[in-house]
Amino acid sequence: MVLPIYIDGKQEGELTVCRQGAVTVMQADMRDVGRVVRLTVYGERAGYLGVPEPEEGRLRLTRRFSPMEMARFPQHPQYAAEKPMPGKKQHEERPEKDTQKPNAQDGGRHVVWMGGKPYYF
């Protein structure tokens, strides 16, 4: 599968996603935009990919992910970018829970939501 890579609203490269045995390989190849780029894969949610490095006048990144690591990526990826593209369907952020007051259903403990998971203390 080949996905577009968008930087500042323009397509600057491609992200190739393929399976190699039990792992999924993601290879980004894009034009050097003259600054550090942090790529995220977007679909029904977002998954951080990494920072491509300069190679032969372009920016490239190859990452291999186990099935457990792939659980943090969208099942149906649409594109890669530094930030979500306006007009494209994005993952929905869950609002932060109020961490100031203990919740009776938590047994009076404080709850902090990070990454969609509750952490109790």
Place of tokens 């050097």: 32
Which residues lie across from 40 on neighbouring strands?
48, 81
Q: CB-based burial of residue 71 (10 Å sphere; 0-12 exposed, 13-18 middle, 19+ buried)? A: exposed
Across 90-104, average pLDDT:
47
Burial 99-115 (b: 16+ CB within 10 A, else e): eeeeeeeeeeeebeeee
Q: What is the number of structural domains in the chain?
A: 2
Coil vs helix vs strand at 6: strand
State yes or no: pLDDT of 53 exceeds 80: yes
Place of tokens 């952490």: 119
pLDDT at 73: 87
Same domain, 61 and 102: no
Q: What is the mean pLDDT of residues 55-71?
A: 91
> Is residue 91 a contact partner of residue 77, using CB atoms and an 8 Å limit?
no
pTM here is 0.67
pLDDT of 59 higher than 90: yes
**73 and 98 part of one domain:** no
Q: Is residue 87 part of a domain?
A: no
Domain span at residue 38 reads: 2-81
The mean predicted confidence, pLDDT, of the chain is 81
Residue 12, token pair as written in the block: 């600057």
**Percent of the chain's residues with pLDDT above 90:** 47
Same domain, 50 and 26: yes
